[in-house]
């Protein structure tokens, strides 16, 4: 599958599995799973005119295997987004046993003043997403405008009893207090 198709399908899967499954007739279970075959058929049916006829279980598996952020997983023929949900799901994330001293969060410069006052909130999502890769954080920030990367001191999170979970290749927290933001990188 070429890069353009892979990216297009990955974004569509993220939207469906994180934000709008009901809009295309899919019903996620409590843990966010839906049948892999159901997802393929729903995409082909709903987006006929956009030519998603090439979508197969194998093309979805290819996306999952090549995804550097670990956004999706397949278990027993069912698929889910691992993190990033705005729809209510009850995923039991494991506590991160190890994490670096500093993690990164990508956002846009226009949100900086609010973040420095209130901290990083999950907004419409269930968790704040952090990464150990500055490049990934910068790419995430680009989606929101002029990108910046916030450097988060994990020792402050631990001192303030904020649990750090692991979801795919990302770290998840309920909130990042302003005092845990150590630096702003362009």
What are the φ and ψ backbone dihedral angles of 15, each rounded to 5 degrees? -60, -50
Its CATH class, for the domain covering 102-185, is alpha beta
- The residues with which 81 forms a beta bridge, in sequence order, are 72
Q: Which helix (H) or strand (E) holds 14?
A: helix 3-18
Contact in structure between 128 and 122 (CB atoms under 8 Å): yes
- The residues with which 73 forms a beta bridge, in sequence order, are 80
pLDDT for res 48: 74
pLDDT for res 168: 87
Residue 46: is it exposed, middle or buried by C-beta count within 10 angstroms (0-12/13-18/19+)?
A: middle
- Give pLDDT tens digits for 90-145: 999 999 999 999 999 999 999 999 999 999 999 888 899 999 999 999 999 998 88
pLDDT for res 186: 86
| pLDDT beyond 80 at 50 | no
3-state DSSP call for residue 17? helix
Percentage of the chain exceeding pLDDT 70: 99
pLDDT for res 69: 82
The token duo for 93 is 């994330």
- For residues 104 and 184, give the distance between their C-alpha atoms in angstroms, rounded to a whole number: 10
- Give pLDDT tens digits for 12-25: 999 999 999 999 99
Contact in structure between 80 and 33 (CB atoms under 8 Å): yes
3-state DSSP call for residue 176? strand
Contact in structure between 148 and 185 (CB atoms under 8 Å): yes
Q: Which helix (H) or strand (E) holds 34?
A: strand 34-35
On whether the 3-81 domain is CATH 3.30.365.10, my answer is no
What's the number of CA atoms in the CB half-sphere (13 Å) around residue 13?
Answer: 35
- The residues with which 184 forms a beta bridge, in sequence order, are 150
Contact in structure between 54 and 60 (CB atoms under 8 Å): no
Domain boundaries, given as residue ranges, for the chain: 3-81, 102-185
pTM of the model: 0.81
The token duo for 99 is 């994490």
């Amino acid at each position: 599958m070429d890069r353009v198709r892979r990216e297009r399908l990955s974004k569509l899967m993220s939207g469906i599995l994180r934000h709008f499954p009901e809009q295309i007739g899919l019903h996620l279970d409590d843990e966010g799973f839906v049948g892999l075959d159901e997802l393929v058929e729903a995409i082909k049916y709903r987006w006929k005119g956009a030519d998603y006829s090439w979508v197969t279980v194998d093309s979805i598996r290819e996306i999952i295997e090549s995804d550097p952020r670990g956004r999706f997983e397949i278990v027993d023929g069912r698929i889910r987004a691992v993190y990033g949900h705005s729809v209510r799901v009850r995923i039991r994330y494991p506590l991160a046993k190890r994490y670096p001293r500093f993690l990164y969060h990508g956002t846009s410069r226009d949100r900086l003043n609010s973040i420095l006052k209130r901290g990083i909130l999950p907004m419409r999502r269930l968790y704040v997403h952090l990464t150990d890769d500055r490049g990934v954080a910068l790419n995430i920030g680009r989606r929101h405008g002029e990108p910046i990367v916030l450097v988060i001191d994990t020792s402050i999170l631990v001192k303030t009893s904020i649990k750090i979970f692991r979801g795919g290749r990302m770290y998840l927290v309920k909130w990042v207090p302003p005092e845990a933001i150590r630096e702003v990188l362009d």
